[in-house]
Structure 1
């Protein structure tokens, strides 16, 4: 029997004070062999594909999946493998890097709000508006180029206020039919070191590594503190954070795919019912088409 995982153990409850040191980066694998892993992932992908078709037809909810992590934690791989069976017409992926000059002229949520999924669609944020309370908190000098009035930065309330803005926005989206699921891929510093070396040693992966990645590694402890504060302040029943052990890429993918399948299943999706009038219309069309063949 395939190994299941209690994803509720990964969910951060509202008000919980997160200590990442107490949360594992590596757990017992959900699979016993590479073959079983592929079988399990294929099953999750097939379920997700079917659910996405109904989700698209149902057209009541939108689903937003957010992925945050340290460099080399496997965000791209999770998205690639887990969402491989999803129809591109009903799914969009957005990666948020350095903001443009136009984006800096607006509030910090503006650029991501433009990319929110429509009803019936799945939106994926590979990094997100949470960067504004993560990398910006670790490098507060970034606030200077954002053009925010000095009086709004002084006093140290800017982070608590940004948390509140995020929570308020996510509540608003929930009230309007958007279901948000947020994943923090929890990677150990040692595993990141190994993956960086792998990127350097394998010519085909050289493009994935940059000197800036190594520079950011110096701020590991500051990033962990920023993540702990962020996860503690912004997880809720309506927009939960899941801390996913990411040292084993395969198990991380299975956990994420399982959570997404459960999320869509819990929406109670269904194909729109056909009215009597529509049945009659289709019956007449069918008759005409059959007569054409004759």
Structure 2
């Protein structure tokens, strides 16, 4: 059953995966309105619920095993749905095992370090899931579309040549390879939004007073650079989708479907890791048995010696009566 489930998830996300070495042209290769043949939102909601339950199970195992960490990189244009994806996909997991980091304009301290420093400082630990709401890929997206940001990084002349972007692609690939070699899996999701859907979402943010705070005139200025961003995204996907950290282009025009896809990709990664609860030694088991007997002796008169074991036993064998302490 587990193998069947894993295969179904792998098949579902296969069209979203950017094969390493593939030359990507977003407008031609990926449809923001794709729904994988799912016609009704209700079906998608059920799929998302299943995905969230699966993630909750595997996240508990990941934390207990404490060997692997998972980093989720979310990239999208404004109104792409990053916040909603995080909120819905991670709704069932233990918040103690998840950390979300958002990256805005770099601070003076951050600009005094190399461009990957601030991202390295926020990496998840073993047993944790870390989410970058925007990520180190901003350094080859926003910085590329707005080269004045490169000036603010005060790079030496030798690091500012025409090959700066190819070099950064290589450095990012090498950094991610280093992380995966050390037990940190990287999930990279690009939420692919159409220009028309972005326009509609911007208008909604203006029309609904409770959403006014989410809109900024800067969003419209960035929208004017749509074609520049599409080229930057296409080049990024082409250069940095690797065997150890592939990109998944998530159709984002339908929010519910984007969330289903994000949950499926993350679940696929955790299934591949297959974390297990630690096994205790025979000596530890003998110690637990002794503690169990001691706790059972403390049961009040007439009470079940072990209520949990009694409920499990009753569930497995129908009307079997639990062991109780003599009155």
Question: One fold, TM greater than 0.5?
Answer: yes
Matched-pair contact (CA < 8 Å) for 1:18–1:228? yes
- Out of 70, 75, 91, the residue aligned to residue 84 of structure 1 is 91
Three-state SS of the structure 2 residue aligned to 1:293 is coil
Cross-structure match for 1:277: 283
CA distance in 2, matches of 1:232, 1:29: 23
Query: Residue 119 in 1 paired to residue 133 in 2?
Result: no
Q: What is the aligned partner in structure 1 of residue 309 from structure 2?
A: none
1:63 pairs, out of 58, 67, 70, with 70
Corresponding position of 2:40 = 33
Q: How does 1:228-247 map to 2 (within 5 A)?
A: 228-247=234-253
* Count of residues in correspondence between the two structures: 292
Q: Could you tell me how far apart the structure 2 residues matched to 1:178 and 1:229 are?
A: 25
Counterparts of residues 96-245 of structure 1 (less than 5 Å)? 96-153=103-160, 155-245=161-251
| RMSD value, Cα | 1.6
2 CA distance for matches of 1:38 and 1:26? 17
Normalization by structure 2: what TM-score? 0.86
Query: Aligned partners of 2:175 and 2:226: how far apart in 1?
Result: 29
Aligned-pair distance for 1:29?
5.9
Take 2:37 and 2:198, find their aligned partners in 1: how far apart are those partners?
21
Task: Report the more deviating stretch, 91-100 or 280-289.
Answer: 280-289
Q: Which runs of 5+ in 1 are unaligned?
A: none
**Greater radius of gyration (CA):** 2
The normalised TM-score by structure 1 is 0.95
Structure 2: tracts of 5 or more residues without a match:
1-7, 301-327
Report SS of the residue matched to 1:21: helix
**SS of structure 2 residue aligned to 1:103:** helix
